[in-house]
Amino acid sequence: MTRIPAFATTVHGTGPGLLLAHGAGGSIEGNYAPILPALSAGHTVVAPDYPGSGATPRATGPLALDALADGIVAAANEAGLETFTLLGYSLGTLVSVRAAARYPERVRGLVLTAGLAKADNRTRASLFLWQRLLEQGDLEAFARFVALSGFGETFFNGLPEAAVGPFLELVERGVPAGAAEQAAVVGASDTTGDLAGISVPTLVIAPLQDTLVAPANSRFLADRIAGAEYAEIDTGHVPMAERPEEWQKLILDFLDRHEL
């Protein structure tokens, strides 16, 4: 049986609760650092790292979606949050939807960015390459794959030639130990059956240049969640790196509008 460690968690600010769920191969620092100051200016932000990311040790075996959902809610419990809005990114959208299904009385709202209910064929093919490169320990090639699949054409091609090498080195250094296990959760999960039960205010944000998780997946989420709002951002899979201020504004405007 897989042993799941307690999630290393940081807590920021005061106010209504926000519970963050990061992406596969990411971390709180990697996925939310640019917008954390603004989020915590008016909220209590609980920011847990999955096993193998940040300061959280790796699990002893495969990860499961329910365990990740339970883990982030346990972090909210430890921080004293009774209710919260979930901010999920990529894998974190699956985790957030499952947490909302398992703990409906705790969840006041959802913000789902670069999300999906189930991996499509393109995402599954990307996950295969992702995991194969990690198994081989070829982080140099992995960083290039992440650059091609994760970043938008406008951003990546807009880098000066002299900046590409340092940028790829930065991507390579940022790969967490648990990246492969986290990616496996994306391939194994399906939250389609959870969507109809969500009744809280929800914002779905689709990055239009995303080739890792196509925007059609976000449109599917918005169509299946009653009353969901849908917004687009002209980035690849990583709006926090490409257009953090615009991403932040979409989130904060939604939270303000619904008094979350």
Q: How far apart are CA 23 and CA 206, in angstroms?
A: 15
**Residue of 43, 149, 210, 218 with catalytic role:** 210
Does the annotation count 237 as an active-site position?
yes
User: Tokens at residue 225, please?
Assistant: 């969640």
Token pair 């990583």: residue: 238
Does the annotation count 149 as an active-site position?
no
**Residue of 27, 53, 90, 96 with catalytic role:** 90
Q: What are the C-alpha distances in Å from 74 to residues 52, 71, 177, 181, 217?
A: 17, 5, 22, 20, 28
Indicate if the alpha-carbon torsion angle 253, 256, 258, 260 is positive or negative.
positive
Token pair 């939310």: residue: 32
Q: What are the C-alpha distances in Å from 237 to residues 85, 177, 186, 240, 253?
A: 22, 21, 15, 9, 21
Does the annotation count 90 as an active-site position?
yes
Residue among 15, 33, 42, 4 nearest 182 (CA):
4
**Residue of 12, 22, 43, 237 with catalytic role:** 237
Q: Who contacts 198 (Cβ-Cβ below 8 Å, separation ≥6)? A: 97, 100, 101, 110, 225, 226
- Residue 88, H or E segment: strand 84-89
| First and final C-alpha spacing in the chain | 38
Q: Who contacts 129 (Cβ-Cβ below 8 Å, separation ≥6)? A: 145
User: Tokens at residue 252, please?
Assistant: 């904060």
**Residues with active-site annotation:** 90, 210, 237
